[in-house]
Amino acid sequence: MQKIFESFFAAVDKVFFGLSALVLAGMTVLITVQVICRFILHAPLAWSEEAARFGFIWMTFFAGYVGARSSQHISVELVQNLFPAGVKKGMKSISAVIAGGFFLMVAYYLVSLWGKLSTQTSAALRVPMSYVYLGMLVGCFFMGLSYLYDAVKILLWENRKEENK
């Protein structure tokens, strides 16, 4: 069962890493074009800044998932380090469940507001705001799944590894 989850998350990791890099490259191109148009051609583009901002939102949540999967998010381990290994595992799993629950709750509320987001459009690009928040929804959903998977992994599968040693 663990191998199935690991292969699933490995595939999702590659997709999110690639999407993060692609969106970052797109933002770089947009901002470069905007600077050239504004300062060299003296004809600023109205839509490029907004598109770069929306790309930043997408990249934040895609890269947030990549950070969650590689345990790169900020954590305070000072209190955890004061306790024995068994208590540490419990604290790590509880914090993973809380983080996973938070991100899944954000995804749930985004879905519940989807109707309102679909009717609003952005100022310059005139795209529905639901497209902008789609990156947030996908990123939060997968971050939530990742953290819940980490909690299960800490509680169930790490104990088995230690027992087999």
Write the pLDDT tens digit of every residue in 10-43. Answer: 999 999 999 999 999 999 999 999 999 999 999 9
pLDDT at 161 over 60: no
* pLDDT mean over 103-126: 95
pLDDT at 75 over 90: no
The pTM for the full model equals 0.89
Q: Is 77 exposed, middle or buried (0-12, 13-18, 19+ CB in 10 A)?
A: exposed
Distances (CA, A) of 83 to 86, 87, 89, 99, 107: 8, 6, 10, 21, 33
Write the pLDDT tens digit of every residue in 59-69. Answer: 999 999 999 99
